[in-house]
Amino acid sequence: MTEPPKQVAVLGSTGSIGASALEVIGASEGRLRAIALSAHSQFDLLLAQAQQFRPRWVIATDDKPAAAFDWAKLPKQCELLIGAAALVEVVAEDDVDLVLAAIVGRAGLESTWAALEHKKTIALANKETLVMAGPLVTQLAQRQGALLLPVDSEHSAIFQALQAGNRSEVQRLILTASGGPFRDLSPDQLNQVTVAEALEHPIWDMGRKITIDSATMMNKALEIVEARWLFGVEADRITVAIHPQSIVHSMVEFVDGAVLAQLSPPDMRLPIQYALYYPERVAGVAKRLDWSRAWTLHFEPPDPEQFPALELGYECARAGGTTGAVLNAANEAAVGAFLEGELHFTEIVPACRNVLESHSFESNPTLAQLVALDRWARQEVSRWVCA
Ligand code: NAD
Ligand code: MG
């Protein structure tokens, strides 16, 4: 008898991760099914995805444009739900086996939280949730016995490499970073960077927010915090290595000095697929390394002056408490302001530092406190932009 499909709620299905996940699901020969799709905009794409994948629920989170959109061509078996509250309702449904959290930014928090409360397995792309509320989210997952599987390529690589030893045998995690498009620019050149240039990533084709985060290296800062909470490894045992080829996705060094890495071409479909099928490995659709030609891998330590965001990541990973929520919100707001042309590229990180330093630190915050601080930090960035 064939197994019933694993039913996946794809939250953020119109995004870069969401679309790659649908490719993985589409190629699964019925082993995976998209039971729900959600999007905040691009409803024409959401509709086309619904026509192809025939999910039970289609969630359009941005109320007003969703209500104005013509859904007449939505397949009859799909139920249309409008508004962000529907995310929380759908992830609680018994038939949902796994939730792919691929919404960008703080907006992903409530649905991931609700899914964990309902003991669902999470494939987590939305790193911002862990940056904002890492200890609370990982404790909830543990309490509920829910699996929190990383989709971020670095964390997926670490998760895979960790299977070679015990957690007590881990010496350090080595997060690789492509270095983004501006690795070799002088401070003067960095100051002139335009939005169009910052949106051109040399290797990865991703959503706008994470593409800017990669250019400032704030993405790596967020990933340090993500790794801190996901793997329970102290900040000072997390090292960043610049690796422009993005083939070694990250590494684990064990106490005996052995370093284990996961290699594959830069293609998010592999970490997505690994999380969706976990603990199984299947042939899948991801690109493979070509061993018939010569190639070289390069690693170098990052220059902290070129990338001041990294130090912010370390500070937040060390301090914990309210710092992650403040850093994450300030960064989201600053990236938004940069994309609107209201802030220089080189002002994004100082804006984050400024807000972080002016907040009143709390070591053991509640979720409600973090949500309130998230709002406060965004307002602070707006004030900073206007000043
Ligand atoms: P994206 O911008 O391409 O897609 C974001 C998705 O979230 C879209 O479907 C969008 O409609 C939805 N969304 C946006 N705002 C929302 C809101 N307020 N409420 C509900 N839904 C909303 O982003 P992406 O590049 O796919 O990234 C998604 C997440 O995955 C991010 O957290 C990012 O850091 C993480 N991630 C992405 C990559 C990558 O290669 N793209 C790699 C690692 C991690
Ligand atoms: Mg990553």
- Looking at the CA of residue 213, tell me the nearest atom of ligand 1: 34
Give, in degrees to the nearest 5, the angle at Cα 338 between 385 and 210. 130
3-class SS of residue 26: helix
Closest residue by Cα to atom 30, ligand 1, is 125
pLDDT of residue 384: 86
CB 114 within 8 A of CB 96: no
| Cα–Cα distance for residue pair 331/355, rounded to 1 Å | 10
* Substitution candidate for ligand 1 out of 14, 16, 212 with most atoms within 8 A of CB: 16
Nearest C-alpha to atom 27 of ligand 1 is from which residue?
104
- Within 10 angstroms of residue 202's Cβ, the number of other Cβ atoms is 14
Ligand 1 pocket test target in 87, 104, 128, 155 with most atoms within 8 Å of CB:
104
DSSP code string of 205-268: ---HHHHHHHHHTHHHHHHHHHHHHHHT--GGGEEEEE-TT--EEEEEEETTS-EEEEE--S-T
- For the CA of 127, the closest atom of ligand 1 is 32
Residues 6+ apart with CB under 8 A from 246: 176, 178, 203, 204, 266
Identify the pLDDT of residue 372: 98
The conformation of residue 73, written as its DSSP 8-state character, comes to T
Residue 201: per-residue pLDDT: 82
**Ramachandran area for residue 180 (φ above 0: left; ψ -120 to 50: alpha; else beta):** left
Nearest atom of ligand 1 to the alpha carbon of 211: 25
Q: What pLDDT is attached to residue 1?
A: 61
| pLDDT value of residue 273 | 98
Question: CA 68, CA 72: separation in Å to the nearest integer?
Answer: 12
CB 128 within 8 A of CB 328: yes
Counting from 1 in the atom list of ligand 1, the atom nearest the Cα of 20 is 26
Q: What string of pLDDT tens digits covers the 387 residues of the chain?
A: 688 999 999 999 999 999 999 999 999 999 999 999 999 999 999 999 999 999 999 999 999 999 999 999 999 999 999 999 999 999 999 999 999 999 999 999 999 999 999 999 999 999 999 999 999 999 999 999 999 999 999 999 999 999 999 999 999 999 999 998 898 898 889 989 999 999 998 888 899 999 999 999 999 999 999 999 999 999 999 999 999 999 999 999 999 999 999 999 999 999 999 999 999 999 999 999 999 999 999 999 999 999 999 999 999 999 999 999 999 999 999 999 999 999 999 999 999 999 999 999 999 999 999 999 999 999 999 998 887
Q: Report CA(332)–ligand 2 centroid distance (Å).
A: 16
Burial of 298 (0-12, 13-18, 19+ CB in 10 A): exposed
Which residue's alpha carbon is nearest to atom 9 within ligand 1? 12
Report how far residue 267's alpha carbon sits from residue 384's, in angstroms, rounded to the nearest whole number: 37
Residues at Cβ < 5 Å from ligand 2 ion: 152-154
380 sits in which H/E element: helix 367-386
Cα(15) to centroid of ligand 1, in Å? Answer: 5
The rounded Å distance from CA 105 to ligand 2 centre is 14
Which residues, judged by CB distance below 6 Å to any ligand atom, belong to the binding site of ligand 1? 12-18, 39-41, 61, 84, 102-104, 107, 125-128, 152, 204, 206-208, 210, 268
From the alpha carbon of 219, which atom of ligand 1 is closest? 34
Give the C-alpha separation, 209 to 16, whole Å. 11
Distance CA 323, CA 192 (A): 29
Say whether 284 sits in a helix, a strand or coil: coil
Q: Tokens 């911002």 — which residue?
A: 128
**Would you give the end-to-end CA distance of the chain in angstroms?**
66
How far is it, in rounded angstroms, from Cα 61 to Cα 166? 42
Mutation to probe ligand 1, out of 10, 11, 14, 17 (largest number of atoms < 8 A from CB): 17
CA 208 to ligand 1: nearest atom: 2
Whether the CB-CB separation of 223 and 324 falls below 8 Å is answered with no
Amino acid at 113: W
Which amino acid residue places its CA nearest to atom 39 of ligand 1?
A: 206
